[in-house]
């Protein structure tokens, strides 16, 4: 193939990619899928020509296996380019479905009894006056105030001030 150069002694291949056929995003996705088999270095001008330099993770790779990785890159380029085209074609349909689903859910929430109950609880919460933070703060100069649980209080005597 014209766009694949193999260098088996260096365990390297260079694949030339036309960015007008395969956009840079598609090249990224295709290389990502093959990262377990090889290292990828992308070079070149994304407007004119992208070069994918493939370095095999196994330095003793055979020429046929190196070519196979380069051809797999081509397969993945076609795969992700097709996916990108289909996604672009279906974008309007997906957006319409999402808008419809959101509109339906919002309309149901406005009239649901749970929504009315939630609003009532919020109004009641606004009516309740909370003390200022200063009133909630307890001075503890000796650092003995510690959170406790009822389980830890078993067997303890109440202070004299509290009995009565």
User: For 4-91, which CATH superfamily applies?
Assistant: Ribosomal protein S6/Translation elongation factor EF1B (3.30.70.60)
| Per-residue pLDDT tens over the stretch 103-143 | 776 655 565 667 777 788 778 777 776 666 666 666 777 76
Mean pLDDT of the chain: 81
pLDDT at 50: 92
What pLDDT is stored for residue 151 in this prediction? 65
C-alpha pair distances (Å), 97 with each of 86, 87, 104, 145, 158: 16, 14, 11, 57, 64
34-43: pLDDT as tens digits: 999 999 999 9
pLDDT in the model for residue 28? 92
Provide the 3-class DSSP secondary structure of residue 125. helix
Domains of the chain, by residue range, sit at: 4-91
The Cβ of residue 133 has, within 10 Å, a number of other Cβ atoms equal to 7
Kindly report which listed range (53-62, 116-125, 142-151) carries the lowest average pLDDT score: 142-151
According to DSSP H, which parts of the chain are helical?
A: 24-33, 63-111, 113-127, 133-136, 150-153
């Amino acid at each position: 193939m014209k766009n694949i150069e193999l260098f088996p002694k260096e365990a390297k291949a260079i694949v030339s990619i036309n960015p007008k056929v395969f956009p840079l995003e598609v090249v990224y996705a295709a290389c990502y899928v093959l990262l377990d088999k090889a290292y990828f270095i992308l070079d070149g001008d994304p407007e004119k020509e992208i070069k994918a330099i493939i370095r095999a993770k196994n330095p003793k790779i055979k020429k046929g296996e190196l070519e196979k990785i380069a051809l797999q890159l081509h397969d993945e380029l076609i795969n992700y380019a097709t996916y990108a085209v289909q996604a672009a074609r279906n974008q309007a349909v997906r957006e319409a479905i999402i808008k419809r689903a959101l509109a339906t859910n919002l309309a149901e929430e406005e009239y649901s009894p749970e929504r009315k109950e939630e609003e009532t609880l919020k109004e009641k919460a606004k009516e309740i006056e909370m003390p200022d933070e200063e009133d909630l703060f307890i001075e503890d100069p000796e650092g003995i105030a510690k959170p406790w649980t009822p389980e830890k209080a078993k067997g303890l005597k109440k202070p004299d001030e509290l009995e009565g």
